[in-house]
Chain A
């Protein structure tokens, strides 16, 4: 009886992923406690977020991929409709129009698209698997570009980046020709000087600040300067838990959310970073393994895209905190405080588990 109950709850969970995710979430709680200055209500809030997110993950893991495929078009269409709704009736907060009030609560439709876009693209390429032509990639590019355009306009560059990379991964894995990738890259690189010529002085200044934050230590460079000080002063083994001066003395902005990695890095040092990187590599490696072994194209593409998007979160966040990438609003996956991204990320991991376990059942 108990076996059955346990079986019911664990049948579609991947133990490997579960262990690594649990480790990451645990680290997240530890860092959050320190970053928030020992604020238990923050920690409690994040625990609640985790509960919701893990439930969502469990549901996702229990939905067979073929059902997911059926949902692709409706989810995508709903997401797009909500994005249009945001553009027309959205609420403005912090200078960007991202939220839609639907009476009961506020939702952020761009978040839906982080799953909706790769789902839609994977479904589409799966449908036309044997006869994929350039035209299909063109259609895929449009399916990708429309929501990204809306999101970038809000403006929410972080989410636009994540959605567009998720879509690009599907296109890439579906076999987008190298010629086009290289060609597109060359065209963009070629356009940059022209764009530079067309920019206003202050816009150029912003780009320059992005490249060299010390140019503008009062403005946008401030975040990066403070986070690199935090990281660099952490050294090999860190200052120890709860001992990070940068974070404790209020110098680090956004230290529980987008810049939480600086707190972690200050307190646990290069060694801690290595541990974190290894955990991320394990998640990503497992995801790619699941993708490689999936039985149908839809699952392969979806699993690949979800995994690589997870990687993008991690890379962009750590890159921006350590000062090699510009500051865009991308959280550190499973570590940063915040319910929305946690739900989205664990939903993605749930999909991975679903793809893996349902295939196993098929084989069995």
Chain B
């Protein structure tokens, strides 16, 4: 592109666009030091291409070109000059408008200014159960707060204050912690929920304490304590990290003056709905910054109320039914996907977190071997065990690998051809002649070893995947685990290993790589109960607009649908009904039930627990026991509720998990309240009496 002309440029303009040095006066002055320095710089301007307008004899043509260019340039410059004048004139008009026409208005504002804008924190939305029972609400109380900027030495101040107001060492500790976490300019609470007497005592002495105020503030309260704590979650003080996030999302202004934000559970997930819109007051302040009167108020908009599908009574019954056992229960209304109960035991008191949890309580919760803060329903993954079998049975029928009449003679074990691996049934000596119906009722393993081999892992993955296993259900709380429904492709990706035939066999009885969360199991059961029409599980049924009172329904439509033959469904259902009748694995739990329950028991081995781990020694034996599982829906013909139950180290599904289901079903279907709690659940240390038939 660049090349040098082979001859010297004959005209006034050099190729670099400048007049030749001969006409410049600098040369006659001799090169300045700076120029010489410049010329020694290691780079040179490259030579340009020849001008297209150049013709050696057509000097006039080029002159005309350039003068036309110059004319155009001048014209453009004139346009710029005109724009400058015009735009400055616009500014002048604006100044005139502000400073002459609106002068009085702004003068008043400035005179009163002194007007400061004070944010008004909106009321947080309520959380209500499906019958309107309050699960989370707000109340107003007085707090004693210190603005560290204008207060003196804090220790002395606290000592003086404690003469008037009861300040415990615990309060001091929390105050220190909050002081470190606070956002700039915030005042920090020392004591919350002051008594009237304390308020009065402080008010009299107020002049002694600059920078200390009493404020009426709203507090969040969870009246039901531990019950449904994992669903509701809790709010807490806005941390620095959360503040940064709010700023990034551009909503920090809406949180001015606000102290709290939803942390986990529904409080966290629905923060945007619950928080509301901040209002503000234009307040006239005196020279000392104290407000004198309010000039204008823009009211805050309260947060929206959440109406849950959850039924607090059902939740309570379910939680009580667990007794001292740890575990999880998720109950879903199959026809809507609404979650009626969502249990993770043990729970915790969310009220502890609202004002910042003190370290003593935190240690208690966080270090407990029972892990009460873990949301087992949402995050715990367990092998589904035999609760996997109804889905396997349906897969066998639907994909033509089994007929209802196909019968095996069960010797108590299964031999994988070729390798000669032996897979044992839970019952020594086997179950004898077993067809599909009986395989579910007595939970025969051998039957499903063979079925798994005939189906192959990819068929299992594809068919049972339709029931939502191995994928997040999309329930409306954050932090859900994915679980695992294995496939060849998955194993290759995860372990870079081929899938072996033997892997498939244990998957067939819900062991092996299989992992599911309780909420996934409940979801799968709900889909089974609803004949393949899939509603996403959701805790919040409706969001009520705080202004208009309008309610927006969530997940009103099914988000998927797949066809299963009615005949095959019927067969599996009949077998699942007989599971809960005399002779079935959960027969005892449902003796005398006035409705038909379709269910399946399961047992998951506790794996990966090595001896020598730091467990309380007295409890160790219990912690090695199997997890008990149970899935069911009822009434079997027209299901009102589908549920999945997991009892950690509970032993056997039929004896420990199924009675919990009974209590829930009795209430939901018949309206029957459970008998006094002791009888509903077996005491922790009494090992359940296990009959062979009741096992798994």
Contacts and interface: CB of A to CB of B under 8 A. Distances in A.
Interface string A91-132: 000010000000000000000000000000001001111110
Contacts of B106: 228-229, 231-233
A288 B99 CA distance: 31
Interface residues of B, number: 67
Contact of B95 (A206, A273, A304): A273
Contact of B251 (A202, A304, A308): A202
A288 B113 contact: no
A88 B679 CA distance: 67
Interface stretch (A38-46, A154-162, A277-285): A277-285
Contacts of A296: 13, 17-19
Most buried by B among A66, A234, A245: A66
22 contacts: A62-B34, A69-B18, A69-B45, A74-B43, A126-B17, A129-B69, A175-B69, A206-B250, A216-B253, A218-B117, A219-B252, A229-B106, A234-B99, A235-B103, A249-B113, A281-B88, A292-B77, A296-B13, A296-B18, A297-B73, A361-B24, A362-B24
Contact of A231 (B18, B95, B247): B95
Nearest to B102: A232
Contacts of B102: 232
Interface of B: 13, 16-19, 23-26, 34-35, 38, 41, 43-45, 48-49, 51-54, 62, 65-66, 69, 72-74, 76-77, 80-81, 84-85, 87-88, 90-92, 94-96, 98-100, 102-103, 105-107, 109-111, 113-114, 117, 119, 247, 249-253, 256, 278, 280
Contacts of A318: 91
A66 B109 contact: no
A70 B76 CA distance: 26
A2 to B, nearest CB: 20
A358 B76 CA distance: 24
Interface residues of A, number: 77
A280 B253 contact: no
A173 B81 CA distance: 12
Contact of A324 (B34, B53, B94): B94
A175 B16 contact: no
B96 to A, nearest CB: 7
B49 A291 contact: no
A236 interface: yes
The 4 closest A-B pairs by CB, nearest first: A232-B106, A219-B253, A233-B110, A130-B51
Contact of B91 (A173, A206, A319): A319
A68 B87 CA distance: 31
Contact of B100 (A169, A235, A277, A362): A235
Interface string A225-248: 000111111111000000001100
B18 A232 contact: no
Contacts of A298: 17-18
A150 interface: no
A179 interface: no
Nearest to B52: A131
Contact of B87 (A63, A72, A130, A315): A315
Q: Is the interface of A mostly helix, strand, loop or mixed?
A: helix
Given A175-B73, A232-B106, 16 more contacts: A62-B34, A63-B34, A73-B43, A74-B43, A130-B53, A130-B62, A131-B49, A228-B106, A235-B99, A265-B99, A288-B81, A297-B17, A308-B80, A308-B84, A323-B94, A364-B25
Contacts of A169: 80
Q: Is the interface of B mostly helix, strand, loop or mixed?
A: helix
Contact of B113 (A229, A269, A315, A324): A229
A131 B103 CA distance: 56
A222 to B, nearest CB: 7
Contact of B110 (A65, A230, A292): A230
B69 to A, nearest CB: 7
Interface string A272-314: 0110010011001100100110011110100010001001000
Nearest to A63: B34
Interface string A313-339: 001001100111000000000000000
Given A270-B96, A315-B91, A362-B24, A128 B48 contact: yes
Contacts of A362: 19, 23-25
Contacts of B96: 270
A233 B109 contact: yes
Given A128-B48, A130-B52, A229-B106, A277 B280 contact: no
B76 A175 contact: yes
B110 A66 contact: no
B48 A127 contact: yes
Contact of B250 (A63, A203, A246, A324): A203
A288 B80 contact: yes
Most buried by A among B41, B73, B96: B73
A205 interface: yes
Interface in A189-228: 202-203, 205-206, 216-220, 222, 228
B77 A70 contact: no
Contacts of B76: 172-173, 175
A322 B80 contact: no
B34 A280 contact: no
Given A218-B253, A362-B25, A235 B92 contact: no
